[in-house]
Amino acid sequence: MATTKSNLVTNLDAVPTVFNDVGLSGGRVRVAMDNFEVASGDFDADGDIIRLCRLPANARVLSIKLWNDAMGSSSAPNAGIYPTNSDTASDEDFYATAVDTSSAVTGTELRFEAADISTAGDKLWENAGASSNPGGHYDIALTQTASATATAFTVAFEVLYTID
């Protein structure tokens, strides 16, 4: 019978014990969530951005869930990462690529739609492609990928993360 141990268990079994980063084992999960209205015409052109939340650069993003009313025909935004002071993405589609939001979305998980599972446990600054922690914050955002029919809609999201 074979037994495979995660890195977390291997560290705890080591002599002497190797302490795991609390953000990976025993950390407190935090939430950023909201629901809001997007006005007709504010998310209908390629490159339009909806900034969902701002997280510390050292956050580990566990989950990103999205709910929305129909965003209009041809709406297919990416979910990615932006520096807080720029409309140029660090990685516009790190989490999800061309999510079909032309009809209602109900609690769709975006975290690993495009991101490789090897990024589980990485810090936000690593997801953003930085070579070291710049400190500060990054925004999790949706970016429109094509022209869509202008319509008003409601967006709700839930981002679970840890920083401990």
Residue 21 has pLDDT above 90, yes or no: no
pLDDT tens readout for residues 99-131: 999 899 999 999 999 999 999 999 999 999 999
Which domains are assigned to the chain?
Answer: 24-162 (2.60.120)
Q: Exposed e or buried b for every residue in 141-159, given b needs 16+ CB within 10 A?
A: bbbbbeebeebebebbbbb
The structure's pTM equals: 0.92
pLDDT tens readout for residues 22-72: 888 888 999 999 999 999 899 999 999 999 999 999 999 999 999 999 988
Please tell me the distance from the alpha carbon of residue 163 to that of residue 30, in angstroms, as a whole number.
Answer: 8
